[in-house]
Each structure stands twice: as C-alpha cells, then as structure tokens.
Amino acid sequence: MRSSRWWIAAVAVLMSTGIAQAQDRGAVTGTVTDAATQQPLAQVQVSVAGTTLGGLTDQQGRFLIANVPAGTREIRTTLIGYAQASETVQVQAGGTATVNFALRVSALALEGIVVTATGETQRVRERGNAVSQITVSDMNLAPINTMSQVLQGRSAGVVVQQSAGTSGTGARIRIRGSASASLGNQPLVIVDGVRVNESPESFSIGVGGQSTSRLEDINPDEIESIEVLKGPAAAALYGTAAATGVIQITTRRGRAGPARWNAYSEVGLLHERNEWFGNYLQLGETPAGAEIACFTFRQAADQCTPTELLYWNPLMDRAEGHGVSNPELGPASPFRDGNRTKVGLNVSGGVDRFTYFFSTERDQEAGIFRNNNLDRVSLRANVRGQLRDDLDLTVTSGWISSDIQLPWNDNTQGPVGNAITGEPEDDPEFRGYGGAPPSQLERVDTRQGLGRLVGSTNASYRPTHWLNIVGTAGLDVLNRRDTETVPPEAIFSGSLPEGVRTSNRIEISNYTATLGATATAPINTDFHSTTSAGFQYHREIFRGTFATGWQLLAGTESLAGTNARPSVGEQNTDVINIGVYGQQQIAWRDRVYVTGALRGDDNSAFGADFGLIWYPSLSASWVMSEEPWFPQLDAVESFRLRGAVGRSGLRPGFRQALTFFTPVAATVEARDYPGFTVGGVGDPNLAPEISTEIEAGFDLGLFDGRLGFEFTGYNKRSEDALIARRLAPSLGLTTTRFENIGVVRNHGVELLLNANVIQRQNARWNATISFGTNNNELVEMEGDDIIFGLASGQRHSVGYPLGGYWSTPYTFEDPDGDGLLRIQDVIMADEEEYAGTPFPTRNASFNTDITLWNIVRIGGMLEYQGGHTLWSGTNEWQCVFLLCRDLNDASASLENQARAIATYWNFSWWGYLEDASFTKLRELSLTFMAPDHVLDRLRGIGGLSLTLAGRNLATWTNYTGIDPEVNFAGQNNFTTADFQSQPPVRHWTARINVNF
C-alpha cells in the first residue's frame, strides 16, 4: 500500500512538471531562402542554441520548432555549402515567434551537420577531426549506378579501385591505406544507425576472380547524406570495427508539405573500348631448310631465318554490327554492346508531425559478355512521427531483390585467357581460341539470387530541453542462393564434359541495438557542456550450406540430376560485440571545443583470457577567426585549427582464438569410422588489432565564402596486428596460428579546395579539387615474410608496404647491335627485390559543375591515382605461351624482348611490373532543365530534366597493359594483377527526371 502511494505521488509530480513545462513553452517558425536566388532551401537544420531542440526545413523552406522554453533564444541554421546564420528571438509562453533567414553560399562547410556515433547530430565546427561529407542531392545528374561510384573521386584519402567491367561486381575501397595484414581493410558501413554487411567478396562460387559486393546493394537514389570518418581519431566511439574508417549513410526522409512525386527513367549503353593483345607466331626456316617457329631469340642466335609472321586476334573480331573477319562463321569476339535500363518512382510529404518517403526502383543491366546480366529491384519506406512534443519515432526499411549472372573470366577457362593462349590464325571450330571458345563458355550459367532487408527504428525522447535520449534498433538480413550449372557436353576440358551442378544457400544476419543519452547545459555565460553516454549491442550470424554434384543429367539444372562425386558442406559463425561509451564536450563561446570520449568493448572473438578493450579519444577545434584579436582581413572569412587523437580496433576472425577440431572419416579394415583432426590452434590471449591515429589540420575560408581550403595530416599506427605464425610440424598441430605479432603504419596528408567561382542568379560555377597521399609500411613482424598472390609475386615484408610486388631484376645488352636479344644477353640478378605497391600512394580529383540560367547544367570529374604498380600479367602470360609480339616480331623493342625472355626462361616478371599511374575522365554530364515558364504550362509538373552522361570516357597513362584499373582477383584484400580480366567499360546514359 505504501509503495502504491509512492507511485501515485511520483506520477503526479511528473504530470505536474510536464504541465508546468508545457505552460512555459512556445514555438518558433519561419522560412530559409538562398540570399542570391531568393529560392527556398530545403533540408536546412534549424536549432535552438543550448538545447537539443531543432528540425529541418521542408521543400518550401519552412520550419517549425515546438516545445521551445520561453525566453530569449538564439536560433541557428546550418546547411552544407552555406554560411551559418543565427538570430535572437523572444519566445512567449504559449506563443509562436517568427524568424526568417537568407543564407549565402560558403565554400567552407564549418556549419554542416554530421551524425555522430551517439546518434546525435553535431556541427562540423565542433569536431577536431576531418569528416568528408559527400553531397548526393545531384547524384541523379551524374553517370552513377553503384555505391562505389558514389564514393569514387569525392573524398581525399578515399581510394576506390575498380576491379573489372563485369556487371554486378564491386570495387576495392581503402580509407587512409591498409591497416591490417590479415583482416579485412574495407570500411565499416552504417545505414540509418545500423551496421550492415559490407563484404567486398560475397560469392561462394569461383568464376575466375570477380565477385559480387554487398556494398553495391545500396541504391544511390535512396541516399540523403554520406559522411566518411577516415580513421580511429574520428571513429573511436565505433569501437572494434572502425580502424579502417566508417562510411555513415542516411537514407532519404520526407518533408512536411503536400505529396511530391519524382519519376525517372534511364537507358544506357556499355561499350568495350580496349585494344586487346593478339597472338603472334613468326615462322621461319633453319639453315637446313626445315620449317620452325622462328622466335626473336632464335633469330638473334642465327638459328633461323624468318619467312612469315602470323597474327590473329579473336577478341578484336567485333560483333554486333562492327564487322567480322569471316561473316559466314560470325564473330569470334565474346563481347557485345551492353545496355541498361532503370525506372523509379518515389514520393515524399507529410504534415508537421508525420512525414514519409516511399520509393521503388528496378535496375537492369546486360554486360558486355553475353552471359553477364543483372536484374535488381529495390523498395524503401521511411516514416517519421512526432508522437508527442518530446517524442519522435523514425522507422526506415529497405528491401533489395537481385539476380546476377556472372561469366567465367580472369583465368584460362575464361574467354580472354583462352584467346591470348590460342592460335595465331582463325579456324572454323575454335576461332583461334586455345581451349573453350565463347560459344561453349556462354552455356555456363552462374548466378546469385539475393533477398535483403535493412531496417531500423529510432526513437528520440526529450523529457527536458537539455536532455535527449536516443534508442536505435535494427537489422540487416540477407538470403543468398549461389548456383552454377555446367551442362554436360558443353565444355570439353578436364571432367567438365560430365556436367556439374553447384547450389549454395547462405543467410547472413546483422542485429544492432543502441541506447544513449545526451545532456546539454550551460556552465556559465562562456562555457557550455554536452555529455553523452550509452550502450551498444551487435551480433553477426553466418549460416551456409554448400553442395556440388557431377555427371549432370542432360536437360536438368538440379542436384538431383547429378550422379557422381557429391560434396556437401556447412559453415556456421556467430560473433557478438557489446560496447559501452561516454563522451564529454566543453565548448567555450561557441568557438573552442574540447571533446573527450571512451568506449569499452567485449567481443566473442577475443581470446578467453583477454578482457575488455578500451578505446579513448580526444579532439579539439578552435574557430580562431571569431576571436576579437584575430586580424580583420578582407580576404579571410574564417580560420579554424583542429586536432584529434584516438584508438579503435579490428576483431580477430571467428574461431581464431579457439582450439577446435574438424570431423573426418577414417577407414579401418574397409570400414568408415567417424574421427577428427585438429582444425585450429587458438591463442587464449588473442587480442584485437589496435590502431592509434593522430591527425591535425586547419580550415580556411577566403573571399567572402567563395573559396574554402582544408588541410589534414595524419599518422596511424596499428599494433597487435594479427599474423599467421608458422608452427613446428613436430607439434602435430596445424601449420599456422594467428598471433598479435605485427605493427603497421600509415601516414599522409589530405587537401581539399572548394571554390564557388561564380555565384550569380543566371550563372553558377562550382569546383572542387582534392588530393591525398598515403605511405604504408609493415614496421614489425615476427617470423619470415608472408608470400602470396599470383605466382607468389606479392609479400608482406618488414620495412615495405603490405602486399608489395617482389621479383628478380635483370639487365640486358645487345652486343652485336642487330636489335635482337639472345637468351644469354639477359643477365639475372641474384635475389628478388621490391618492385612497388599495388595500392595508389597518391589520389586526386577535380569535380566541377556549371549551371546557366537554371536551364543547363554541365558536370564533370577528372580522377588521378598514382604512385603504384600493376603486374601486366595478361601480356606476360601470353609470352609464357610464346605467342606475344615481344618474342615473335623483330621490330619489338629491346626492353620488351628482354622482359619476355626473362619471364619465359627465368620466371621473372620484373619487366611486367609497370607504373600504373593514370588520369581518367571519369564523369561527364549535360543536363537540360525545363525553365519556369515551360513548367507553368505543364500543369502539375514541378520539374523536368534530361541528362546525357558518360563514364570512363578517356584514360591517360604510361601503362602498356590493357588498363591500369583492373584486378583479376576482384576485391581481394591484397592479391592484385592484370591477368586476363575485363577492364571497366565505357558507359553512356540518358535519364529523364519528372517532379510533380
């Protein structure tokens, strides 16, 4: 009874407090426009200084903030690309104050809003680390089809390496270099507060090297904002997953107002544009008159006299109306002109307390190989409701369904490999291919079917104006079906004529739950405090069943139709991470900010004897130009100093810390008995890899906001790096065990220059230049070098970059000066030497857009990657088969003859390790927008545009291979080479957007 009285009393106090608070509060409303064009600005963050209250403007630039404490209040506006504005208003209890803003363009985004690890928003000026914000509002006016293309060339320090031109595959992404020698180096990806699967290699059936990527499932047309946190200094609060950087994505939201519909349709062409190597064979006669293959080294040794140089290139015998060498036989080339179509529809709107965004899209693409196709459907529903003045609820959900067909390639069973190791002449049956011609390979059906749901629920509760409690719960669940059918009597190689069927079923689930609270309060008139604390839970589950059978019955595409060598396997993993965090920020006069944070994690992949891991961080930001003593220079609008230090980690792989056993069948006296072997020898002290980063820099705004410059220097040291230590065979255990015995360092600089060159009502010209460097080094490692890659040509070696190329150098001379080299004229060195890193050490881009009379918009991107090396393995492999020009054509240069002799006779690919630096015209677009007077005649149409765009339009490079931007191993962590792969293709697209 007594306890009941206490509850009644408590509820009464809370109710009376709530009523009193409501009576002491009012509202603030108004509009935000562009100062130059007087057009309304949507998605402007409007907030009440010193509180957690705020909101976004709608499409008409209007905003409304309810539940504002009565009194004198400072109202602030922030929007990327515009200078901050603030006004002081008097809020009356029960009344509504009105304030309007006209924002001017600013090239320095100090007032941009970013989402933090606590779920709160924060102004860029408050952060001590650099954060790249990628503007996505005009992405539909650029030739962009995938998430990796969104990231490419738009942020200094973020390097996107396309692996191939195969539709449905991905790209390798590095942020500030490679932090780990053994674990993945792809960034952590967060979508609407939920950690999602970002696996760069997500296909369980080998097609030669290329693979699907889960990052590419994300639909660029559904994105509202992207923030890139580049290292531990920025991402410490994300804990044991963030050492390689964080990509934080927010999907589109609705805005209050009438329903606004957007429909779009896109068509495009994919064009194979490369000049492929053909097959050569120099025929000749010996001094005795016998016919012989008269290679250049034989000519140099006077072993033969050349008579006829044979040449045939099946890959260049173009199809699809481009002309063929033998019309009766049809084209020999496996390539076609690909095509793509995309249609989409979305709608957004709502009222002040309820907004929505719904979208649907279908994307289809036929790649340049006839058995390379993609069909993807995406659906999204995002709603937000203000259930009370102090309680918001946001629910986001996205569904992806796709079917991807991949061709065999990147190996000798692919069309490129068969072509460059074929015959130097056309023939009716194989058309010059060395093994299976494309007509056989195209009968192989390798597919991935996918269903994926990504959803989250976010609740924000403000019991008082100084406290905000945020909770997020979400999931990412995907089901994959990877299948392959090789029909019987389709490919006549090895046992493939029997036919084979593979069917793998995989389910991957990620669950995220976060609960945190942030309190904001003034300490006095100069100091302001923001305190955050919270808890996070993450669980990742993998379930896979794998089955293969041989001797497939003709006409069937099922495992039930196989009759020999059945193989069944299963894989299950389950990893849980629990983290707690706290953060404290002290702000002085809204221009000096010091922030300290600490996160503690426990992970099921840690060793049994390893406890919690702690990740501290400290950052400072000083907007020095707002100090009264700062020199008042007409050219300088703003100047900020910033710096940060922090730690984050990468967890060990599943079961790397455990000793476990693998079941096997043991045969004793002709009977099978169950048994086991040692599957892995774990280290009970196994710890996560720990990366500590220091970064510092400054931001400078010049010429009334027309020019913005950012500079950042960083130094990241990753300790306790996991290395597979070799174990003595005498132990009778596994050959290796992962231990924390390595140190990796990355350091470099990043520069960003934004320029609003022209800002007039009828002409606007914006340009951005970014530049970044990265120097990577394996500083320490116990044990011998780790050797891997194509022909064991790469290694992790102390004192050199991770994954560097190594080979035996050589010298050569032409003693008789006849332009031909003998075998003995190429002199090999005694030892292998370091030949370069496959990862760019420099990256730069130039992005620009010009808008004229609000009718025509021209956009473009130039991208540069440099300082790295690529193994030209396609050309080298052709020389191994004695079919390259360098060993058959006497006009080949001495350098090319020497490298061909070195690889054929001495297994050295030193001459084929080439500088892969390049500059590409990555994007070019032209958009025509219907002027207002035309829209006035089209009743109900609010916007109409046509965009013509191209991608990968030109390449400038000294690389002599097919393309410097290719990797036969797809998105593999380190393995890299140009080896029989299809490079990125040229895209042409036309898109119509209609708003109504």
Mean pLDDT of 498-520: 96
Buried b (16+ CB within 10 A) or exposed e, 55-73: bbbbbbbbbbbbbbbbeeb
Mean pLDDT of 876-893: 95
For residues 533-538, average pLDDT: 95
**560 CB-side CA count, 13 A:** 1
User: E strands, 202-353, where?
Assistant: 223-229, 246-251, 257-271, 279-285, 291-293, 305-312, 338-351
Strands 96-98 and 613-623 come out as unpaired
Across the range 71-100, mean pLDDT stands at: 85
* Residue (of 917, 927, 924, 981) closest to 953 by Cα position: 924
**What does pLDDT average to over the chain?**
89
Q: 311 falls in which pLDDT band (50, 70, 90)?
A: very high
What does the pLDDT read at residue 679?
Answer: 66
What mean pLDDT is predicted for residues 98-114? 80
- pTM score of the predicted model: 0.89
Query: Measured at the alpha carbon of residue 526, what is the angle toward residues 521 and 530, in degrees to the nearest 5?
Result: 30
Phi, psi (degrees; rounded to nearest 5) at 108: -110, 120
Neighbouring CB atoms inside 10 A of 843's CB total: 27
Helix (H) or strand (E) holding 234: helix 232-235
DSSP 356-422: EEEEEEEEEEE-SBTT-EEEEEEEEEEEEEEEETTEEEEEEEEEEEEEEEE---SSTTSHHHHHHTS
Residue pair 814/825 in contact (Cβ under 8 Å)? The answer is: yes
**CA angle centred on 476, ends 80 and 605, rounded to 5°:** 105
Q: What is the SS3 assignment for 656-720?
A: CCCCEEEEEEEEECCEEEEEEEEEECCCCCCCCEEEEEEEEEEEEEECCCCEEEEEEEEEEEEEE
pLDDT attached to residue 327: 65
Burial letters for 579-612: b for 16+ Cβ neighbours within 10 Å, e otherwise? bbbbbebebeebbbbebebbbbbebebbbeebee
Quick: pLDDT tens for 836-879: 999 999 999 999 999 999 899 999 999 999 999 999 999 999 99
pLDDT at 95: 87
Q: What is the pLDDT of residue 691?
A: 94
Return d(Cα 961, Cα 896) in angstroms, integer: 12
Torsion on CA atoms 879, 885, 888, 891, rounded to nearest 10: -140
Residue that wins the pLDDT comparison between 743 and 10: 743
Mean pLDDT of 177-184: 93
- The pLDDT, as a whole number, for residue 11 is 36
pLDDT at 12: 40
Cβ–Cβ under 8 Å, residues 696 and 642: yes
Contacts of 681 (CB under 8 A, 6+ apart): 659, 727, 733, 734, 737
Residue linked to tokens 């084979």: 500
Which is nearest to 96 in space by CA: 29, 168, 154? 29
Count how many Cα atoms sit within 13 Å of the Cα of residue 428 in the half-sphere of its side chain.
1
Judged against a pLDDT cut of 50, whether residue 206 lies above it is answered with yes
Residue 321: its pLDDT value, please? 42
Say which amino acid occupies 235: A
Separation CA 458–CA 10 (nearest Å): 28
> Rounded to whole angstroms, how far apart are CA atoms 375 and 364?
4
Most confident of 259-273, 322-336, 421-435: 259-273
Between CA 210 and CA 163 the distance in angstroms is 8
**Amino acid in the structure at residue 503:** S
Per DSSP, helices labelled H in 105-215 are 147-151
**Least confidently predicted of 99-108, 123-132, 490-499:** 99-108
Would you give the end-to-end CA distance of the chain in angstroms?
A: 62
